[in-house]
Chain A
């Protein structure tokens, strides 16, 4: 559906255009079937479901029913997901684990739940549009449009009050007022550090050079984190609009989205969105007749985690090796090409339009005093309902893990949760009632990070966990400074020794000292936080370290070198394990209890997985 470029030079005209768009859309649509078409949904098999839905729709010859391809709904645990919405009443039903064979029933049922399908309770509300009448645990500001609109159609964004914030800013506010509004909102950088966004903008605003830059950091690289991808795939315009607002606030004409090349769908949707925004005159010259020019380019990262660090990111855009440089000077003073530059994360930008539309006061009512607003998390690991969630700051970990995530998989015991990805730390069971905000997490020796949240259970060895995260930083370190390049290698070697049972107490002390030195001396945020998983697991789970070193045991039974396999009295003498053992170290007569030769055992675990009688012990 192509619409001629509207001439909008004031907010009233945009409001009218928004109303027209809404009417035009609701006129043709009574029932809207939203199909989750993020990368995750497509990977889980949404494409055949979509095809089946379209065929059913054609076959049943229904009018007023529309199928919309939307971004991620955040329900990873039940993909493919579909939401059927009655556009008049707003009533809706969400189905999970949908198969192509369900299509007919879904189309026929409308908003009445179809029988035999997994119906998912909507656990969130939209603070901008409604009161939290159902006491939903999630509040969606950032993910407001993700899973609700077609990200490839700018009109759907406009119908959700899109580009009104930019219009308001350009026609009714001064740059200083915009900076003041964002400062007043208390919005803090969602990339991990939590630096006040308004302050960052005010530094850049105060700089004299005429050439300035706005950079959106979409180089999301934490293992298991996919918040930014979901936002860009589900609601790219919200980020573009916010970048233009930032441009106006600091006096920049150019924006750059630095996005990792491994996000092809997000890139494609951003390209479509930029193209459409230019066509509508929301990007380009003289936006809304205000005289303000702003345009956005994309730069693709080549998959280096360290390029998420702002100075490394800038170096990468400049065509240099992506490695951090020492601050000062800070990018807000001398950034890209030596010009004042603000680098904000995708999620940070995704908050901006809502703040401008509704005011700083509205934003501050959500979340905590020190950390207003919400935070998006990617729940992963040993939890029943993995997925993308957005909760108000101040929500407790218990609420997230047991309320939203529905507890630990297979009835196991919760052990720890890692926040802040490889730069963060772990939080133990007795701290589950901790409420999440920037400052509390730091006090616990962890950090907010960009929003990865990995849940671990009793089967996880914390030494191995620390070693895993360190392996990641070791691979991803740029190698520039000594502590990160060599220090982390040594930490990793020491952790390996511990997991092999070859370490002594001196190793533990060296591990502690070196971790402290690295934190104290590394050049960039990545390096400084790289020993965090080691420090945090050492503090929280010292007993596990001691068990490895003093007793030669891995309590979780993970470290292969420290595990022994034995056969208990449940053994029926079926000899399956004996046949499977690749090194022939199991002896025993038929129908009598077998024995494993611990000396010869290579701890491959084949016996354990092949035994049907629970007769193999791993300790």
Chain B
């Protein structure tokens, strides 16, 4: 059990008397803290300003004093004057005190829980005998809160929820409706399933741990019989209104309700009764809604309305019939749903699932008259192996290719190749607009969720997105023309299958403009999860798979194609090519670090020749909306913007293996993608030999008439209701 507390203090370093005026840095100073027992590896971390940079003080710089007091010495000229976070790691108990020279500490919180009314200075004076006490502008120190959990007393910051306190203590209270995405600062605190109720002394009702902030003196019992009975009853009731068809459910073995029932050891449903039933909605290519399975956790609402601001889902009807649905209980197909699938990713059960197309793939693979080729999107390789219980953090590209070959695809190609192609067209378009200084900023349009979003919600900005098709559709168009011709197959007999991290791609492939002459460029789209289930069905053993390479000519890609998987990647890829084309010089460093990351909106100014290119990246449609509103209001202007519908980009797509709220997995997928890029011999799209060949043999040059005919598209205004 890890009950180590990490206490964070906000510290403002005032202009000190002895400050180095030239460097504006602090002189050496000491941080003192106390612990309840001996700390094995004492450590003080100072996060500078925005939190980007940190200084760790440890080892010899920390001396142990008497009674488990520690003194850390921070060297001179290390810490600039300003607001910083100071984190003392390794304190077993939270009643520690952090001491900094009173002369130049402006505020520090929180400190001593025994005497919360004392200011820092008074406290320090008392504890360390420093004096005299100076008048202070310090804000009142928020009182720490002392609570007892199952007889164990802990001290925590105010506003901490019971759930957070117990998790810090290593006690796991079951939750179902609660959902927290740390990397995106999103918490779904509905408090509606009541599976997390605990007993609190002197309260006549049980309280939901997920949304009850602790108050001083609270005595919490997580495992009293009353709480256990109530939690079991809640789960029993949910199961009583839930179809018991786990074996044939899309969410089998990834279902949080199933897991809870297993953990609770619930073997019989006590309160059986009528079950609510609703019509199944499968009128669209991407998402199936089977609300008989809905447990009213409402996570999908938060995903749709708060994170994505698409705003179509809401609780409807009352009482036993209450359920989540679009307004007027319309089918998703008749709404402004963008099919991003974030609702599916948030759904703890099988109420929302992908429109499964695996059987169509089996049928095609077993049709001797068809040539079946497959493309696999950049983000798939960063998560495919997770479906086989392998840890996130590496790419499974080689095994993925082998798995696809084993399934029987005639040729295994890479969407990354098409991503390079997208860059050729998009960067060309960008340079043209930049040179004419018109229709700026250019917005990326590789993401079908984002495309449908602006078609519904920002039709007035429809001149901004690049007309270049997405990599998936470029691949399809080239496969059914250039490639079909090359191998002498009638396009009608060539089946293009896509493996995508995305559900909106299923919808995108079905758009009528992507089926010239009634022949779809991309015939079948399956998600990463669907591919994994096909492999399992086919008895493919992940561990035994050899590493192998994609086929050519549509399988070669640069590192620029790989990073399409992460938010910021498309923009970075475009900048790599655009800057070389504009300046005619080779880039010294292809890594545009400023545009990388999981945060919702990032901005960067990139110098290309004489031009300062202002770029922005947004992921998550809510962030996209905020950015676009700023542009509309004239509060911001850019030259180029990348937008991805899913927070963090395609690595977090609605078709990826479920992360169940653990955003650390996304961080790992992201790292894996950039590592793959770094190891690629070619890292710029325009240096991809097969791309060059494609233009030489077939397309002419980027932006040519033929390229426009095959690789560009148009958008249409859609209803915003």
Q: Of B213, B234, B270, B317, which is within 8 A of A510 by CB?
A: B270
Closest A residue to B232 by beta carbon equals A517
Q: Of B197, B271, B274, B321, which is within 8 A of A521 by CB?
A: B197
Q: Of B205, B274, B318, which is within 8 A of A478 by CB?
A: B318
Q: Of B193, B233, B274, which is within 8 A of A514 by CB?
A: B233
**A interface residues, tally (CB under 8 Å):** 35
**A483–B319 alpha-carbon span in the complex (Å):** 11
**A321–B208 alpha-carbon span in the complex (Å):** 22
Contacts of B320 on A, CB cut-off 8 Å? 474, 477, 479, 485-486, 488-489
**A493–B320 alpha-carbon span in the complex (Å):** 12
Q: Of A304, A321, A480, A489, which is within 8 A of B192 by CB?
A: A480
Residues 469-512 of A contacting B (Cβ, < 8 Å): 474-490, 493, 510
Q: Is the CB of A478 within 8 A of B322?
A: yes
Closest B residue to A479 by beta carbon equals B322
1/0 per residue, CB under 8 A from A, across B235-277: the answer is: 0011011000000000000000000000000000011011000
Contacts of A478 on B, CB cut-off 8 Å? 315, 318-319, 322
Minimum CB–CB distance for B15 against chain A, Å: 30
**A236–B230 alpha-carbon span in the complex (Å):** 45
**A317–B547 alpha-carbon span in the complex (Å):** 60
Residues 232-280 of A contacting B (Cβ, < 8 Å): none
Minimum CB–CB distance for B433 against chain A, Å: 40
Q: Check B191 for interface membership: any CB of A closer than 8 A.
A: yes
Q: How large is the interface on B (under 10, 10 to 19, 20 to 34, 35 or more residues)?
A: 35 or more
**A521–B207 alpha-carbon span in the complex (Å):** 7
Q: Is the CB of A520 within 8 A of B230?
A: yes
Q: Is the CB of A486 within 8 A of B191?
A: no
Q: Is the CB of B296 within 8 A of A521?
A: no
Q: Is the CB of B206 within 8 A of A489?
A: no
Q: Check B211 for interface membership: any CB of A closer than 8 A.
A: yes
Most buried by A among B197, B229, B318: B318
Contacts of A517 on B, CB cut-off 8 Å? 229-230, 233-234
**A256–B241 alpha-carbon span in the complex (Å):** 39
Closest A residue to B295 by beta carbon equals A482
Q: Is the CB of B318 within 8 A of A477?
A: yes
Minimum CB–CB distance for A491 against chain B, Å: 9
**A505–B237 alpha-carbon span in the complex (Å):** 20
Closest B residue to A305 by beta carbon equals B318
Q: Check A116 for interface membership: any CB of B closer than 8 A.
A: no
Contacts of B270 on A, CB cut-off 8 Å? 510
Minimum CB–CB distance for B587 against chain A, Å: 48
Contacts of A325 on B, CB cut-off 8 Å? 191
Closest A residue to B242 by beta carbon equals A486
Most buried by B among A306, A484, A486, A521: A486
Minimum CB–CB distance for A96 against chain B, Å: 40
Closest A residue to B316 by beta carbon equals A321
**A306–B208 alpha-carbon span in the complex (Å):** 20
Task: Say whether, besides A479-B317, A490-B273, A523-B194, A326 and B237 are in contact (CB < 8 Å).
Answer: no
**A304–B274 alpha-carbon span in the complex (Å):** 24
**A59–B318 alpha-carbon span in the complex (Å):** 57
Q: Check B226 for interface membership: any CB of A closer than 8 A.
A: yes
Q: Is the CB of A489 within 8 A of B315?
A: no
**A486–B239 alpha-carbon span in the complex (Å):** 10
Contacts of B271 on A, CB cut-off 8 Å? 486-487, 490, 510, 514
Q: Of A474, A480, A483, which is within 8 A of B237 by CB?
A: A483
Task: Say whether, besides A490-B271, A528-B205, A480 and B322 are in contact (CB < 8 Å).
Answer: yes
Q: Check B14 for interface membership: any CB of A closer than 8 A.
A: no
Residues 195-253 of A contacting B (Cβ, < 8 Å): none
Task: Say whether, besides A321-B314, A326-B211, A520-B205, A482 and B237 are in contact (CB < 8 Å).
Answer: yes
1/0 per residue, CB under 8 A from A, across B309-340: the answer is: 00000110111111100000000000000000
Task: Say whether, besides A482-B192, A493-B274, A521-B197, A476 and B238 are in contact (CB < 8 Å).
Answer: no
Contacts of B273 on A, CB cut-off 8 Å? 489-490, 493
Most buried by B among A306, A478, A481, A484: A481
1/0 per residue, CB under 8 A from B, across A96-126: the answer is: 0000000000000000000000000000000
Contacts of B323 on A, CB cut-off 8 Å? 479
Q: Is the CB of B240 within 8 A of A486?
A: yes
Q: Of B208, B234, B321, which is within 8 A of A479 by CB?
A: B321
Contacts of A483 on B, CB cut-off 8 Å? 194, 233-234, 237
Tell me what chain A mostly uses at the interface: helix, strand, loop, or mixed.
helix
**A522–B274 alpha-carbon span in the complex (Å):** 20
Contacts of B191 on A, CB cut-off 8 Å? 325-326, 481, 523
Most buried by B among A304, A514, A521, A523: A521
Minimum CB–CB distance for A484 against chain B, Å: 8
Minimum CB–CB distance for A357 against chain B, Å: 37
**A513–B226 alpha-carbon span in the complex (Å):** 11
Q: Check A390 for interface membership: any CB of B closer than 8 A.
A: no
**A478–B323 alpha-carbon span in the complex (Å):** 10
Q: Check A323 for interface membership: any CB of B closer than 8 A.
A: yes
Q: Of A304, A519, A523, which is within 8 A of B318 by CB?
A: A304
Closest B residue to A528 by beta carbon equals B205
Residues 264-315 of B contacting A (Cβ, < 8 Å): 270-271, 273-274, 296, 314-315
Q: Is the CB of A476 within 8 A of B233?
A: no
Task: Say whether, besides A489-B273, A493-B274, A521-B205, A479 and B319 are in contact (CB < 8 Å).
Answer: yes
Q: Of A475, A482, A519, which is within 8 A of B194 by CB?
A: A482
**A279–B133 alpha-carbon span in the complex (Å):** 60
Closest A residue to B195 by beta carbon equals A482
Q: Is the CB of B192 within 8 A of A486?
A: no
Q: Of A475, A480, A487, A513, which is within 8 A of B315 by CB?
A: A480
Q: Of B212, B296, B315, which is within 8 A of A321 by CB?
A: B315
Minimum CB–CB distance for B140 against chain A, Å: 14
Minimum CB–CB distance for A101 against chain B, Å: 47
Q: Is the CB of B192 within 8 A of A481?
A: yes
Minimum CB–CB distance for A242 against chain B, Å: 31
Minimum CB–CB distance for A425 against chain B, Å: 16
Q: Of B211, B212, B237, which is within 8 A of A487 by CB?
A: B237
Minimum CB–CB distance for B259 against chain A, Å: 17
Q: Check A328 for interface membership: any CB of B closer than 8 A.
A: yes
**A289–B145 alpha-carbon span in the complex (Å):** 47
Contacts of B195 on A, CB cut-off 8 Å? 482
Q: Is the CB of A489 within 8 A of B274?
A: yes
**A391–B393 alpha-carbon span in the complex (Å):** 73
Q: Of B229, B230, B240, B319, which is within 8 A of A488 by CB?
A: B319
Residues 314-362 of A contacting B (Cβ, < 8 Å): 321, 323, 325-326, 328
Task: Say whether, besides A328-B213, A486-B237, A493-B273, A479 and B315 are in contact (CB < 8 Å).
Answer: yes
**A306–B317 alpha-carbon span in the complex (Å):** 13
Closest A residue to B315 by beta carbon equals A321
Residues 501-545 of A contacting B (Cβ, < 8 Å): 510, 513-514, 517, 519-523, 528
Contacts of A510 on B, CB cut-off 8 Å? 270-271
Minimum CB–CB distance for B498 against chain A, Å: 38
Closest B residue to A329 by beta carbon equals B213
Q: Is the CB of A476 within 8 A of B194?
A: no
Task: Say whether, besides A321-B314, A510-B270, A490 and B194 are in contact (CB < 8 Å).
Answer: no
Most buried by B among A478, A487, A490: A490
1/0 per residue, CB under 8 A from A, across B205-223: the answer is: 1101001110000000000
Contacts of B315 on A, CB cut-off 8 Å? 321, 323, 478-480
- Besides A489-B319, A521-B234, 6 other A-B contacts (C-beta < 8 A): A478-B322, A480-B322, A481-B192, A482-B192, A482-B195, A510-B271
Between A and B, 18 residue pairs with Cβ closer than 8 Å are: A325-B191, A326-B212, A474-B319, A476-B319, A479-B318, A479-B320, A480-B192, A481-B192, A481-B194, A490-B273, A493-B274, A510-B270, A510-B271, A513-B233, A514-B271, A517-B229, A522-B194, A528-B205
Nearest 6 pairs of A and B residues by beta carbon: A479-B322, A486-B237, A477-B319, A326-B191, A517-B233, A489-B320
Q: Which residues of B are in contact with A by a Cβ distance under 8 Å?
A: 189-195, 197, 205-206, 208, 211-213, 226, 229-230, 233-234, 237-238, 240-241, 270-271, 273-274, 296, 314-315, 317-323
